[in-house]
Amino acid sequence: MTYSVLLVEDDITMVRLLEVYLKKNGIDVHVAGNGSEAIRFLSFDTPDLIISDIMMPNMDGLTLRNKLLKDKKHRMIPFIFVTAKSALDDRLAGYKLYVDDYIVKPFEPRELLARVNAVLKRHELYQDLVRFDGLTSTLNRKTISETLENEFARVSRYGGNLSIAMMDIDHFKRCNDNYGHVFGDYVLIKVADAIGAELRGTDFVGRYGGEEFLVVMPETTLDNAYTVVERIRVGIEKLRFDPQEFSVRISAGVAQFYPGIVTSRDFIHLADMALYRAKEKGRNRVERDLQPQPALG
Taking 80 as the threshold, does the pLDDT of residue 98 lie above it?
yes
**The CATH number of domain 141-288 is 3.30.70.270:** yes
* Beta-strand pair 101-104/286-288: unpaired
pLDDT, greater one: 255 or 2: 255
| CA neighbor of 206 nearest in space, from 247, 175, 239, 165 | 165
**What is the pLDDT, as a whole number, of residue 72?**
87
What is d(CA 34, CA 57) in angstroms, rounded to the nearest whole number? 6
pTM of the model: 0.68
The catalytic position among 9, 151, 211, 287 is 211
pLDDT digits (tens, 9 = 90+) for 32-90: 999 999 999 999 999 999 999 999 999 999 999 999 999 988 999 999 999 999 999 99
What residue type is assigned to position 179 of the chain?
Y
Considering the chain, tell me which residue range(s) the CATH 3.30.70.270 domain(s) occupy: 141-288
What is d(CA 229, CA 167) in angstroms, rounded to the nearest whole number? 9
**What is the pLDDT, as a whole number, of residue 128?**
81
Q: Dihedrals φ, ψ of 194, to 5°? A: -65, -35
What is d(CA 237, CA 187) in angstroms, rounded to the nearest whole number? 12
Catalytic: 211? yes
Using pLDDT thresholds of 50, 70 and 90, give the confidence band for residue 243: low
Q: How buried is 290 (Cβ within 10 angstroms: 0-12 exposed, 13-18 middle, 19+ buried)?
A: exposed
Q: In this structure, how many other beta carbons lie within 10 angstroms of the beta carbon of residue 179?
A: 17
Q: 4-129, what's its fold?
A: Rossmann fold (3.40.50)
Using pLDDT thresholds of 50, 70 and 90, give the confidence band for residue 297: very low
pLDDT digits (tens, 9 = 90+) for 177-216: 888 999 999 999 999 999 999 999 999 999 999 999 999 9
Over residues 112-141, mean pLDDT: 92
pLDDT digits (tens, 9 = 90+) for 145-181: 999 999 999 999 999 999 999 999 999 998 988 889 9
Task: Report the share of the chain in percent with pLDDT over 70.
Answer: 97
Considering the chain, tell me which residue range(s) the CATH 3.40.50.2300 domain(s) occupy: 4-129
What is d(CA 118, CA 106) in angstroms, rounded to the nearest whole number? 19
Q: Which residues touch 173 (CB under 8 Å, ≥6 apart)?
A: none
**What is the pLDDT, as a whole number, of residue 197?**
96
What is d(CA 159, CA 140) in angstroms, rounded to the nearest whole number? 27
Using pLDDT thresholds of 50, 70 and 90, give the confidence band for residue 292: low
Task: Report the share of the chain in percent with pLDDT over 90.
Answer: 87
